[in-house]
Structure 1
Amino acid sequence: MSSTGTQVRTPPAAPAPERAGRRGTPRLARLEPLLWIGPALVLIGGVVLWPVVEMVLASWQDISRAGVTRGWAGFDNFTALADHPALLSVVLRTVLWVAGVVSITVLISLGLAQLLNARFPGRRLVRWALIVPWAASLVMTAIVWRWMLSYFHGITNRILTDLGVIDQPRDWLGEPAVAFVWMMWVAVFVSLPFTTYVILAGLQTVPGEVYEAARMDGASAWRTYRSVIFPLLKPALLVATVINVINVFNSFPIIWAMTRGGPGNATDTTTTFMYKLAFVDQSVGQSAAMAVINFLMVIVMVLFYLRAVRWKEVS
């Protein structure tokens, strides 16, 4: 038969798709994930969002020493806080505290992670030992360091005196500048385990072929690390740095256990400063205003860091 005589049969038209939601089942299926994430959302709302709302409201209210709300205060709490003579020095000290502790922690952790990623006898024992400062109570760690730095019976004075480094014992925590440096060291000490393990996890995701290719190209160990390995660590560094910024910014136990922010406000950060405003000066409204400023400072510092490292390119 010729091709002109053939009949082309068209396939039957497919039935029109039934409208989603006509019987109600597809529409209800879309709500099914709420059954799984609903408890988490309720927990976040109750533990995170609700305290933030209460904090902001308290900063705009006139609250008595007994905790009774006497009405709307407007900007009075923020104005009184701005007039506090110690505010500027506390804010600057907090920025120095966060920048110093986080940067030193990340630098040391890069070296420790590289060491723990290498193979050597006893590596597993060293990895376990690194967890100790992280697993121990933060308050107890700070108290132990305070005892070690004690003027009368601290082991630090004894060792440095026996070695001839100092001629007589020093009141390490009585001198604000020296005490602040020691507190930064303790903060670095307790932050190293988490940061090191995050970077170590990033190192272990680097394929072995990358090292082999760099070796075949004749790259030195330092050049391989700087040009190949370090760029691959940026996601891990991003996570470690952001979490460290938040934790160090809100660090309270170390400062309070070692110096209580003293003498005066000489070693206070915004966290201990707002505590003193609420429970020493009994100015709840000013403390809430300081908490709002502290919250905004954390957000600004994190966003500044994310912009500096171009986090969208990293992710």
Structure 2
Amino acid sequence: MQQTVALKRVGRALQPWAWIGPAVVLIAVVVVWPVVVMIQSSFLKISRFGVVNGFNGTANYEKLFAEPDFGGVMFRSLVWVVAVVALTIVISLGLASLFNQQFPGRRVARWALIAPWAASVLMTSIIFKWMLDPGVGLINIILHDLGFLDAMGGADADPLGKASTAFPWLIFVSVFVSLPFTTYSLLAGLTAIPADVYEAAKMDGAGRWRTYWSITLPLLRPALTVATLINVMNVFNNFPIIWAMTHGQPGYSTATSTIFMYILKGSDIGESAAMSVINFGMVIVMVAVFMKVSQHKQEVAR
């Protein structure tokens, strides 16, 4: 009798694992194990053909930090993430507020916004690269007709050939492809705000801007937090846009740490693995800092 009761207790204790077990195994195989291998590889001496030649200590990290372009790449990565995420959130807030209103053609406008999201990021990047072609690119032709190319070097100006013009265009394309998801995430948050909250604010005499700052934004904070976190991770790890449009050139002037990591893989896999570890650590730190700041703001608001 006692043995039967004990078996039932064990069965009840193990029952939840029947549901979460597959997810745990998937995370362990797809996430945890690659991270372990990545960290392990960063301390190994690996040839460009993938042959392990033994333990290499911290030599890979020392070589990485000694790279003349390492500092510029890391600073550019930070600028890249802050600029793209900030612009995406600000523009998406405006679009979400607009699409939350009733106006003629709202459904068509909503569907039109999905287009950049539905298309492949790589395909979108290649299209923009073609449109910025110095000879036959549509954007260059329009800029030439408007007389803007004279300030950029004349009719043969190559917007992607100089860091001063290429990097802003990369940021523009990244914001362009990030807007649909972010806008719809914030729009979902706006539609979840109860209408009676706005009615109470109106009865209290609150104006439009006062209502937006004191009611809409605080109630939209969960959606904003999720959208920002996802954008930070996606933008930091973004590869197709920069690689398809500039390959990180000229030099490393448009390369972020992800592009730099990929380029290093062609000559030193161990050094590339060390760069991967740095990238992984930066993502963890950025997410932790953002969550800490968001939590502090919520506590202050309370």
Stretches of structure 2 that go unaligned for 5 or more consecutive residues are: none
Larger Rg: 1
Matched residue, 2:25: 42
Q: Deviations over 1:171-197 (max 9, x none)?
A: 100011210000000000000011111
Structure 1: 4+ residue segments shifted above 2 A: 18-23, 164-169, 311-315
Q: Distance in 2 between matches of 1:116 and 1:96?
A: 30
Code of the aligned partner of 2:66: D
Matched residue, 1:208: 195
Distance 1:224 1:19, change over 3 A: farther
Indicate the SS of the match to 1:71.
strand
Distance 1:275 1:213, change over 3 A: same
Q: Which has the higher contact order (CA 8 A, sep 6+)?
A: 2
Matched residue, 1:197: 184
Code of the aligned partner of 1:293: I
Q: Deviations over 1:112-138 (max 9, x none)?
A: 000000011221111111111111000
Count of matched residue pairs: 296
Q: Map of 1:234-273 to 2, 5 A cutoff? A: 234-273=221-260
Q: Distance in 2 between matches of 1:278 and 1:40?
A: 31
TM-score norm. by structure 2 comes to 0.94
1:185 equivalenced with 2:168 (yes/no): no
Q: Does structure 2 conserve the Cα–Cα contact (< 8 Å) formed by 1:277 and 1:287?
A: yes
Matched residue, 2:212: 225
Identity of aligned residues (%): 53
Matched residue, 1:93: 76
Q: Does structure 2 conserve the Cα–Cα contact (< 8 Å) formed by 1:187 and 1:254?
A: yes
Q: Distance in 1 between matches of 2:146 and 2:66?
A: 48
Stretches of structure 1 that go unaligned for 5 or more consecutive residues are: 1-17
2:93 aligned to which of 110, 115, 140: 110
Matched residue, 1:82: 65
Q: Does structure 2 conserve the Cα–Cα contact (< 8 Å) formed by 1:20 and 1:26?
A: no
Q: CA deviation at 1:166?
A: 2.9
Matched residue, 1:308: 293
2:143 aligned to which of 160, 170, 185: 160
1:291 aligned to which of 251, 255, 276: 276
TM-score norm. by structure 1 comes to 0.91
CA RMSD of aligned residues (A): 1.7
Q: Distance in 2 between matches of 1:20 and 1:204?
A: 55
Q: CA deviation at 1:165?
A: 2.7
Q: Does structure 2 conserve the Cα–Cα contact (< 8 Å) formed by 1:261 and 1:267?
A: yes
1:126 equivalenced with 2:114 (yes/no): no
Q: Distance in 2 between matches of 1:260 and 1:20?
A: 66
Q: Does structure 2 conserve the Cα–Cα contact (< 8 Å) formed by 1:110 and 1:196?
A: yes
Higher helix share: 2
Q: CA deviation at 1:43?
A: 1.2
Q: Distance in 1 between matches of 2:278 and 2:284?
A: 10
Indicate the SS of the match to 2:104.
coil
Q: Distance in 2 between matches of 1:114 and 1:45?
A: 40
Indicate the SS of the match to 2:53.
strand
Q: Does structure 2 conserve the Cα–Cα contact (< 8 Å) formed by 1:20 and 1:27?
A: no
